[in-house]
């Protein structure tokens, strides 16, 4: 049976071929840097990119064709399950029920990294996500970044590279992975372009997230959320009832959608204030119109709250009460200057 690790290291997401080709050319020329910051939105394929490159460094084997959506989603969901790995591949990620990568984890892999490779070739460390390292853990990695061991490679994967210490960023070469256009994602998924565009508008352009939303039929959920938020913003429904409903469902999905939706409205307002001729009303025009009299600072506050709530999920915080406070502001503050 093929493991998630095999799937992600032997097949490549098609839009990652050009950036990988650049690094592969450097590898063949013997000029590949030892430390790489691989950035991009969550769901663009950073883990797949790093593992395929590691496969070439450790085994000198090329990817075996394109990675399709079903296999990619299944492999990503199972990527941290126990499995026999190449002895010279080290993969750091937050331990179960933890949100950070500890200094002990980094020290252990640094100690191993200084030893001779088990199979006499390259050694690879993947840190996912790099911004999950505590300050102490990041500092413990600095010496290895500054003084690389022979044929040792570090891949720091990051959704938010700005959260990494400048001392870490400055010691890495950087490759930024970008999401493909909607047509490419639609072809990869075998889905209608209109469905992909609707998913991108609500959850962003990262293709793995779009694939998950389309396959789980979350598009209908987003339409319901849009309708509920529009009704709430027009004082047609009770904020507490909406908050109670949202808290009972997939709260991470809801908060991610809400943050993205508010961000879209703020982007439109900023563009309009600058006299942009490219401002267009989003597909959810009803909600856009309902928010016309809502002060911009209220939207900024709501965006910050959604961001903080996402980070606090699982911490024991009463999410329903927090949602009530945020949604009440979106309804009660309409028209205040």
The pLDDT > 70 percentage for the chain reads: 95
Identical fold, 4-176 and 217-332: no
**CATH class of residue range 4-176:** alpha beta
For the chain, give every domain's residue range.
Answer: 4-176, 217-332
| The three-state (H, E, C) secondary structure of the chain, written as one string | CCCHHHHHHHCECHHHHHHHHHHHHHHHCCCCCCEEEEECCCCCCHHHHHHHHHHHHHHCCCCCCECCHHHHHHHHHCCCCCCCCCCCEEEECCCCCCCCECHHHHHHHHHHHCCCCCCCCCEEEEECCHHHECHHHHHHHHHHHHCCCCCEEEEEEECCHHHCCHHHHCCCEEEECCCCCHHHHHHHHCCCHHHHHHHHHHHCCCHHHHHHHHHCCHHHHHHHHHHHHHHHHCCCCCHHHHHHHHHHCCHHHHHHHHHHHHHHHHHHHHHHHCCCCCCCCCCCHHHHHHCCCCCHHHHHHHHHHHHHHHHHCCCCCCHHHHHHHHHHHHHHCCCCC
pLDDT at residue 334, rounded to an integer: 56
CATH of 217-332, one of 2.60.200, 1.20.272, 1.10.10, 1.20.1250: 1.20.272
The overall average pLDDT reported for the chain is: 87
Q: What is the pLDDT of residues 64-122, one digit of tens each?
A: 889 999 999 999 999 999 888 889 999 999 988 888 999 999 999 988 888 877 777 88
Read off the pLDDT of each residue in 130-137 and give the average, rounded to a whole number.
95
Read off the pLDDT of each residue in 221-249 and give the average, rounded to a whole number.
88
pLDDT at residue 60, rounded to an integer: 84
pLDDT at residue 148, rounded to an integer: 75
């Amino acid at each position: 049976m093929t493991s998630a690790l095999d799937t992600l290291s032997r097949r490549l997401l098609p839009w990652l071929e050009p950036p990988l080709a650049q690094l592969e050319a450097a590898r063949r020329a013997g000029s590949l840097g030892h430390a790489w910051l691989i950035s991009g939105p969550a769901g663009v394929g950073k883990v797949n990119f790093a593992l395929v490159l590691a496969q070439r460094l450790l085994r000198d084997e090329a990817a075996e064709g394109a990675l399709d959506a079903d296999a990619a989603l299944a492999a990503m969901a199972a990527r941290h399950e126990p499995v026999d790995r190449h002895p010279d591949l080290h993969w750091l990620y937050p331990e179960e029920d933890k949100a950070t990568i500890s200094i002990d984890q980094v020290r252990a892999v640094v100690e191993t990294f200084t030893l001779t490779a088990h199979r006499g070739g390259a050694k690879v460390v993947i840190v996912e996500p790099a911004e999950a390292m505590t300050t102490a853990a990041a500092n413990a990695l600095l010496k290895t970044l500054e003084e690389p061991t022979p044929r040792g490679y570090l891949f720091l994967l990051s959704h938010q590279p700005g959260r990494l210490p400048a001392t870490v960023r400055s010691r890495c070469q950087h490759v930024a992975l970008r999401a493909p256009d909607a047509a490419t994602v639609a072809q990869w998924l075998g889905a209608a372009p209109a469905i992909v565009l609707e998913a991108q508008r609500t959850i962003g352009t990262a293709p793995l997230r779009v694939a998950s939303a389309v396959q789980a039929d979350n598009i209908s959920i987003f339409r319901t959320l849009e309708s509920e938020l529009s009704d709430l913003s027009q004082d047609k429904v009770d904020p507490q009832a909406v908050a109670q409903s949202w808290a009972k469902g997939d709260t991470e999905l809801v908060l991610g959608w809400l943050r993205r939706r508010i961000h879209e409205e703020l982007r439109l307002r900023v563009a309009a204030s600058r006299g942009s001729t490219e401002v267009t009303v989003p597909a959810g025009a009803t909600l856009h119109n309902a928010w016309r009299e809502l002060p911009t600072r209220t939207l900024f506050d709501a965006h910050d709250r959604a961001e903080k709530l996402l980070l606090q999920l699982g911490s024991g915080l009463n999410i329903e009460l927090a949602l009530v406070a945020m949604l009440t502001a979106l309804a009660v503050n309409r028209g205040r200057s």
